[in-house]
Amino acid sequence: MTIDLQNSKKKHPNFVCLSVSAASKFVSGEYTCKSGLKANYFYKSGKVFNNPRWNLEHGLALQESIKFLKTNYKDIFLYDRESLKIKMKIGNCWIFGVPDQVARVGNKLIVLDAKSGESKFYHRFQVSLYSLMISRKLGLDVSEMYLSYYNPRNSNEKFNVISLGGQDEINKIWSNEHKKELVELTNLILSDDPIVPTPNENNCHYCDWREKCTSKFEENEEILNLFADVKL
């Protein structure tokens, strides 16, 4: 059971590149299929993410987030997103990304990541990794991290902001143990050893290689459906 990569365009395998999102999902346990990560590294799936509803809701989340920052902080400087492109090397792995919003108040930074929909566990890893990277780039400590959520399907509270703390929390979330996990993952991706896919709902739902994988989650669902009418 593998991913069929015969007709996929190969990348240049000189080093491993992971987005902040991909690294955070792996370390947090949200996405655990090392086979999918290896395929993403060596090959181009040809898929482009384009979800109009997500684009709209994420844009609204950003607008509300900026209002929140300006309302709660005086003398705030908001960085332009084009200046926030960041990268960091851990072992043979380059991690790259752009945080949604970074602001400076005095000599401290505020980092905010805007989300549409429901809260997920890996989000705190994501915003803390952005914070770690932008702090190193700008040479300033982070005083506060925020996750903001815009969910128009929530009739009670469409916009919500969660505070996660500052520099101490960043160091706690992104421990040396988690950095070691990324180094081990990088070594595995760069090795010639085959990796068996680990299908489950989380791993397969947004996977770029879903249609080419013989282990995808739907096959397991078919087996489970055989027992759907069995009453215990």
Verify that 130 and 72 share a domain, yes or no.
Answer: yes
Of 113-127, 166-180, 215-229, minimum mean pLDDT range: 215-229
Range of the domain at 23: 9-48+179-222
Residue 13 — very low, low, confident or very high, per pLDDT cuts 50/70/90?
Answer: low
- Report yes or no on 231 lying in a domain: no
Distance CA 230, CA 232 (A): 6
Asked which of 159, 175, 191 is the last residue of a domain, the reply is: 175
Sign of CA dihedral 100, 134, 18, 120: negative
Domain count, the chain: 2
Q: Give this prediction's pTM.
A: 0.85
**Measured distance CA(216)–CA(198) in Å, rounded:** 8
- In a shared domain, residues 43 and 87: no
The answer to whether residue 210 sits within a structural domain is: yes
**Angle at the Cα of 164 from the Cα atoms of 163 and 165, rounded to 5 degrees:** 105
- Is residue 230 predicted with pLDDT exceeding 60? no
Q: What is the pLDDT of residue 217?
A: 66
Q: CB 91: neighbour CB atoms within 10 A?
A: 15
Q: Which helix (H) or strand (E) holds 38?
A: helix 34-42
Q: Is residue 227 part of a domain?
A: no
- 1 is a domain residue: no
Based on the fold, state whether residues 82 and 156 are members of the same structural domain: yes
- Based on the domain organization, do 123 and 191 belong to the same domain? no
